[in-house]
Structure 1
Amino acid sequence: MLQTDRNKWWLALAALSCIAIFWVALGLYQSHFISALRILGDYSTQSIIGASKEGRGDEWSTYLPILKQAYLEGFPNKSSLVPYYENLEWVISIPKFNASLFFLPNHIAFWVLPGANALALQGAYYNLIFLFSLCWLLKNLGVKPGIAISVSLMILFSQMYQVWWTSNFPALGAGILPFAIFASRLRPLIKFPLFFWAVGHVIFGQIYPPFYVSLAAALLPILLAVRPDLIDKKHIFWGLISAAAAIGCFLLMRWDYVNAVSTTSYPGVSVSTGGGVQPALLLSAILPSIPVGPGGPGVDPVHEFSLIGTILPVIFLSLLPFIKWDKFTRILTIATAVMLIFMSVFMLIGFPRFVSKISLFYLVPGRRMLLGFSLLIVLYCTVMISHQWQQIRISAIVLACFIFSAISYAFGVRHDIETEFYLINWLWITPTLLALLAIPVWLILKDEKSARNVFISLFFAGIVCFQFLTYGSFNPIMNAADILRPVDNQLTRDVRKLVQLSDGKGASVIGNYGHLLRGEGLAVYNAIHLVNVNREIYAELFDITQDESNTLFNQFRGISFDNIGNANTTGATVIFPGSVGAVAFDHNIINSSNTVDSLITNIQTGVIGKSEKGFNLFWNSRLSQPVPVDANLTITLPCATGNSWMTRYPLIAGGEELVDVALRGVSGRIEVETQNLDQAQACLKQLAISLPKN
């Protein structure tokens, strides 16, 4: 039996290795970067499989553009792009050519392989290490190989992992490895150095306490209940020493980063006391097909309330009447129940501040604890199913599947979930169909043990395939080369001209581009930063005080530009006036009521404030035809005017591929000399733009 189990493990490892080699050789990557390419005016590049989702902006508008910027610059510690000169050494998950490569040897690929293959390796590596860690952990908990492999695949292709993989793969992919090593039966001389490396691998890959605390809360009760031999003074001592050494190495190399982040309002000094999670979300860990969360404006349950929803709780409930409550089962059940109650109170009601502090739950927003809550349920059910294998009744499983389908059908599936996950409408009936398809095997095989083994194997294989199609399709697959290749089209060429016109100081571009333009090596102001930019630079660029700079940029805030009079700081993105950092275009002003053939229509206007002779107004419109960047435009208004400023910016709308000139957006500020505001706005609505006559 032992040799058979080993063969299963080796066969699984060989199969996964072949898939990984194939993946890397073809240069594939799971990404929504097509959304970025569309904003950049690329309408020809396509995903190989699947459709990009704009809601995954943390990946396609932030992480990948920064990685691309660092890649194009050769992965320096500090970017050479003006005006920010970002400290790339402080950006999570960006390869750094320093001692951290000891803990992140997978990053070496970016200096050894072509960029596309290195990026493909990154995706394959973190998916494989996640599977490997889960399988190893379950093996160390005494779970049968077939169940361990199936459950690991179910978790990999769960809503939680697929939704959060896009930007948190170092935290999720490697987060379970230290626990798997700690629970292993390796010799101490191998185990604790490897544990030291694994902890370092996790924290050097990504510092994300919400996931780590949530994972620890789920895994520790299971580990200590199933493996009481781990509660050993020497074992715990050397484990703590190894973890402390890894954390010490991180602090030694990244203390300046930790110190800077610790002073930010988010995530540095924020304290979570939990609460705010709806009870239905907890129920969906047991019934994964019910609606994920409440609907309504501003609620995004697909991305915010992701759970490890599997059919395992249903299988466990079918087993419940036949369980033998031995000492192992009682201890495991009590430990799991206590932690689930503890988590539930934190999520539903919240903790007093001091309890959140001493439990470390203060690092976890209430909804992030759903990760640990659902993982604990899945692992408990897995261990119990494996331990009580002889007590499984196929008839009970079939009945449980019928009940599951009936309840799930009654709840239904929300429309926004339907549009995000392929085949999700069939989840309610899938377990029942699989159970019915597997029943003939049960009837044909005379041996009860063989019938049970084959039935469960086919049933689990079917669930894995369904989850692969449903949740695995959430992230489209595209060529990694299309991500790292610089976009060369009219939009990027025109933005490069804007940067050149700024005399190399950098330029702002009206609109919300996140890091996309900087990812193309373009020195623009538009970006999202935390602490990797000196705040004195912000103060100077945006003409604000040092205190205002510290207040605005002490958390994750986007930077975008619009044609408004004052900075809008009410949202997650700070919207600065379009004139801040933008390139001023020379133009002529004619005060005349004579009609001209204007190049613009649908003028948008707004009030900046009163001036000495009238009113300062802003305006925005769109050129109806390509106009050369160096054209000296003429503005005609039927009223007296004072100072005037105008800029141009790229405008992409409705999938239109702009040729010749992308700078078709035109905006400005102008002083209109009138007696009252109504007259000023009426005059501005008649603004016309024309080319100078030959």
Structure 2
Amino acid sequence: MNNRLSRSFARLPQPVGRMSHLSAAVRWDWRWCLLVALACVCYVGFALSPSSYAAGLEMLGQPVTGTILGSARGIRSDEWMVLTPYMQIAVENDFATANSISPYQESLRTFQALPLRDWALLFKPYHWGFIVAPPAYGYSFYFFFLAAAFIVGWALFVRKLGLSVWVSVPIAVALYFSQYVQAWWTTNAGAFALAPWVALAWMYSGNRLARIGLTAYAILVWLLSCAYPPFLYSIALAIGFLILGFRRDAIRVGTLFDATVAGSIALALFIGYFHELIDVMQQTVYPGRRIAASGGVGLERLLGHLAPTALINGYEPLPRFTNSNACEIAVLSTLLPLFAVCLADHRRFRAWMQDHRWSIFAILVGLGVFAAWMFLSVNPLIARVSGLYLVPPARALVGFGLLVNILAAAYLAIAGVRVSTVRALLLAGAAAGAVAVKYLLGDGSISGTFSRLDLVPLAAVVVVLGGMAIVHSANARTVLVCWVAAGANLAMFGLFNPVQVAHPIFNLDRELVRSTLLERGAVLDERGTLVAPGHYGALIAGAGISSINHVLYAPQLDFFRGYFGDMEPARFNEIFNRYAHVSVIEGSEPVLMAADSVGVPFGVMAGRMERALTPKPEPEQVALMSERPDVAADLANGHIDDMIIDQHGRFRLAGWSRTPPGAQSMIGLWSNAGMQDVLVKRVPRPDVAAAVSTALAHSGFIVEGFLEDPSADTELCVVGLASGAVDTTMVFPDGSRTCTHLGMLDKGESP
């Protein structure tokens, strides 16, 4: 067995590539296409998907069926509450460009691609399955197409950088099953999967007109799939640094000109398709005014790039990372960096580097740019000029992770793998050290710190070291290490998203949904529109029922003016001029519950009461503190989502607290300017309940009042109090904790 494996890999030719001494003998030919086609037949034939819509079935009172592996993830509510229902809406409207069933009559041309019968469908190949097959199969094809595009695209791109197919395929698999990609996959798949195809089209070495056409097509397909700038820009920047480092020969005046032409064509078509939506969204409060500031990402994320499970227990953050969740804690990590540090032949790499200093310099500059944006304070002017202001620092982790892992794979391929007792002990010690460090980061308990996922890196180390004893070919050992890293990610994060059959998603019993909601207290208004107390996202609309409860990609100001036309204009604009989940709540006033969540009063929407012009305050739930609060560093965080202060000192802030509401629970405020007429109102926060914890369903609050003598030096502090003691600290929109200076905030209209 030993000799057969060695002889098999020994047949590979000697060094041929720019970066790798591995063979290019295995090429992309009909056998690879046949393999992808066979996988497509199996996956789509059974109408499989990674959707967490089973959670939606439960909310709608439908039988929860079709989950084959894994379980629905509540944290993926942007998929099962928004994207998937919108695909149902497109099907219900026979792929028209407007939702004729909805009371909002909203356009279905959204920045997340939907299968619509318009000219843009030519640039949505992932949706072509809806044209020729029932919706469950079209939905399944959508996810299969993007998964295949990710693995094949990144494998081909890494191959273009100079690595062998033997290495590029496991790298692509490892990236696909990385924590970050899987945590964000189901609504951002297009941004991740289609990016390498833009680079591949641009690097096409044939006819220039063909290169321009292919690149323009690839760019537009990518932009239409998921027009979310943070991911698009972060990934594009990483690809740019990789090309600059390893394929400078592709960067010429002619190819740059071709890229400019192709980009201009794609951008013109994109703007032509979305010009109305772009005009509207630029004027919104959210996300139109959103500008990212640098810093705020914890340095512990670097540990996560060496030990993928170091920051999580199961898929959830360790208890010390209180202001986080399974998605926000994720990093794009594999075991490749750890293997490269412990097993690569560093002397061989240093010899290679003598002739390739520019390659390493370019990649290190790229890593430095991402690290500075995530961990440090960057001048806002530099952020504007560089475009980094488009990328919240936590979203830059995807670009940083791509650079780290592809560089680690290149390092292994260039240097090769050396085995010795010292190296084996170093690898085993590093794996054990990661376990020890994680215990220090945990809460002191085994069950609260470790899960079965932590066994996978340890098992991977055993497999690698055991494999080295069997495989003696240097080439084979490099391939072994890459595939072990890919297998480890599959074992750790392969079931973050479930395997869900799509048939139940598109075969809802509409009347059962309607009767279930009516039994729960929903009513029909005079137009027959359902008004259901609670937070349902777009689930009810996705079931084909006209509903006030919805998710609006674009504001519907005219619709809401019909109900709240006498509101003060600035406040009306602040609440409704945004992308928003529309929930139905108790009370008589609309409430901004989060940057993307609006609550509208049940009685008003159902036509059963007149709207009161002023909300009923709850003065007993606010405490004006005599001293600046002293807050422990490890105290749990709530959040101030929105804050407005006018020139007269009138302020209004909205947020949520981890201190549960109750008789002994208050919002504590302190300011060196003094305050008066301060009122607080508790509001439900179903969005926080879905994203953070179900215990926080009623964690929201709105505070209004006056500062007596406001100035740029005025400091305002907000905390959650339980029995008079500080129980929750708050993070402000500018990133400051507990207290903020008014000079750091933008002055707005009167609240």
Within the candidate set 454, 459, 464, 1:425 is matched to: 454
* CA shift for structure 1 position 325: 4.2
| Cα separation, 2, equivalents of 1:412 and 1:386 | 30
Is the 1:528–1:558 Cα contact (8 Å) retained in structure 2? Answer: yes
Q: 1:7 to 1:221 in 2, by over 3 A?
A: closer
* CA shift for structure 1 position 60: 0.6
* CA shift for structure 1 position 345: 1.5
Is the 2:413–2:478 Cα contact (8 Å) retained in structure 1? Answer: no
Partner of 1:136 in structure 2?
156
Within the candidate set 258, 265, 271, 2:285 is matched to: 265
Letter in 2 for 1:349: L
Partner of 2:495 in structure 1?
473
Partner of 1:281 in structure 2?
301
* CA shift for structure 1 position 542: 4.5
Partner of 1:615 in structure 2?
none
Q: 1:388 to 1:9 in 2, by over 3 A?
A: farther
* CA shift for structure 1 position 354: 0.7
Q: Which protein is richer in helix relative to its size?
A: 1
Partner of 2:668 in structure 1?
none
Partner of 1:74 in structure 2?
94
| Cα separation, 2, equivalents of 1:88 and 1:308 | 32
Q: Structure 1 residues 27-36 or 46-55, which shifts more?
A: 46-55
Q: Structure 1 residues 32-41 or 562-571, which shifts more?
A: 562-571
Q: Structure 1 residues 126-135 or 281-290, which shifts more?
A: 281-290
Letter in 2 for 1:361: L
Q: Structure 1 residues 279-288 or 366-375, which shifts more?
A: 279-288
Partner of 1:224 in structure 2?
244
* CA shift for structure 1 position 282: 2.4
Is the 1:92–1:206 Cα contact (8 Å) retained in structure 2? Answer: yes
Find out whether 1:512 has 2:528 as its counterpart: no
Partner of 1:521 in structure 2?
544
Letter in 1 for 2:453: I
1:131-530 → structure 2 map (5 Å cutoff): 131-291=151-311, 295=319, 299-318=323-342, 319=344, 321-322=346-347, 323=349, 324-389=351-416, 392-393=418-419, 398-412=424-438, 423-442=452-471, 445=472, 450=473, 452-488=474-510, 490-493=512-515, 495=517, 501-530=524-553
Q: Structure 1 residues 311-320 or 519-528, which shifts more?
A: 311-320
Is the 2:202–2:211 Cα contact (8 Å) retained in structure 1? Answer: yes
Is the 2:52–2:497 Cα contact (8 Å) retained in structure 1? Answer: yes
1:609-688 → structure 2 map (5 Å cutoff): none
| Cα separation, 2, equivalents of 1:96 and 1:548 | 35
Q: For residue 67 of structure 2, give the secondary structure of its aligned residue in structure 1.
A: coil
* CA shift for structure 1 position 537: 0.7
* CA shift for structure 1 position 29: 0.8
* CA shift for structure 1 position 463: 3.0
| Cα separation, 1, equivalents of 2:199 and 2:418 | 29
Q: For residue 25 of structure 2, give the secondary structure of its aligned residue in structure 1.
A: helix
Is the 1:83–1:505 Cα contact (8 Å) retained in structure 2? Answer: no
Q: Structure 1 residues 51-60 or 185-194, which shifts more?
A: 185-194
Is the 2:591–2:599 Cα contact (8 Å) retained in structure 1? Answer: yes
| Cα separation, 2, equivalents of 1:163 and 1:247 | 29
| Cα separation, 1, equivalents of 2:295 and 2:400 | 14
Q: Deviations over 1:451-486 (max 9, x none)?
A: x23333334333322321221111111111111122
Q: Deviations over 1:63-111 (max 9, x none)?
A: 1111111211212111112421111123521112111122113322212
Is the 1:408–1:428 Cα contact (8 Å) retained in structure 2? Answer: no
Is the 2:60–2:516 Cα contact (8 Å) retained in structure 1? Answer: no
| Cα separation, 2, equivalents of 1:543 and 1:421 | 54
Is the 1:218–1:372 Cα contact (8 Å) retained in structure 2? Answer: yes
| Cα separation, 2, equivalents of 1:10 and 1:4 | 16
Within the candidate set 566, 579, 588, 2:603 is matched to: 579
| Cα separation, 2, equivalents of 1:297 and 1:313 | 24
| Cα separation, 2, equivalents of 1:301 and 1:417 | 20
Is the 2:409–2:482 Cα contact (8 Å) retained in structure 1? Answer: no
Partner of 1:645 in structure 2?
none
| Cα separation, 1, equivalents of 2:230 and 2:212 | 25
TM-score by length of 2: 0.72
| Cα separation, 1, equivalents of 2:65 and 2:449 | 22
Is the 1:196–1:246 Cα contact (8 Å) retained in structure 2? Answer: yes
Count the aligned residue pairs.
Answer: 580
Q: 1:584 to 1:128 in 2, by over 3 A?
A: same
Letter in 2 for 1:311: L
Q: 1:275 to 1:112 in 2, by over 3 A?
A: same
Q: Structure 1 residues 299-308 or 224-233, which shifts more?
A: 299-308
Q: Structure 2: which 5+ runs fail to align?
A: 1-12, 17-22, 610-614, 619-751
Q: Structure 1: which 5+ runs fail to align?
A: 586-606, 611-694
Q: Deviations over 1:14-46 (max 9, x none)?
A: 323211221111111111000011111124424
Q: 1:327 to 1:542 in 2, by over 3 A?
A: farther
Partner of 1:41 in structure 2?
61
Is the 2:431–2:457 Cα contact (8 Å) retained in structure 1? Answer: yes
TM-score by length of 1: 0.78
* CA shift for structure 1 position 200: 0.6
Within the candidate set 14, 23, 29, 2:43 is matched to: 23
Letter in 2 for 1:522: I
Q: 1:500 to 1:561 in 2, by over 3 A?
A: closer
Is the 1:566–1:577 Cα contact (8 Å) retained in structure 2? Answer: yes
* CA shift for structure 1 position 418: 8.7
Q: 1:329 to 1:13 in 2, by over 3 A?
A: farther
Partner of 1:691 in structure 2?
none
| Cα separation, 2, equivalents of 1:9 and 1:429 | 36
Find out whether 1:555 has 2:581 as its counterpart: no
Is the 1:315–1:400 Cα contact (8 Å) retained in structure 2? Answer: no
Q: For residue 139 of structure 1, give the secondary structure of its aligned residue in structure 2.
A: helix
| Cα separation, 2, equivalents of 1:188 and 1:17 | 30
Is the 1:529–1:553 Cα contact (8 Å) retained in structure 2? Answer: no
Letter in 2 for 1:250: F
Q: Deviations over 1:621-673 (max 9, x none)?
A: xxxxxxxxxxxxxxxxxxxxxxxxxxxxxxxxxxxxxxxxxxxxxxxxxxxxx
* CA shift for structure 1 position 544: 5.3
Q: 1:244 to 1:420 in 2, by over 3 A?
A: farther
Partner of 1:59 in structure 2?
79
Partner of 2:592 in structure 1?
569
Partner of 1:683 in structure 2?
none
Q: Structure 1 residues 553-562 or 576-585, which shifts more?
A: 576-585
Larger radius of gyration: 1
Q: Deviations over 1:526-582 (max 9, x none)?
A: 112231x53111221355535444211333332212223433324343223221222
Q: 1:398 to 1:460 in 2, by over 3 A?
A: farther
Letter in 2 for 1:69: I
Q: 1:422 to 1:154 in 2, by over 3 A?
A: farther
Q: For residue 265 of structure 1, give the secondary structure of its aligned residue in structure 2.
A: coil
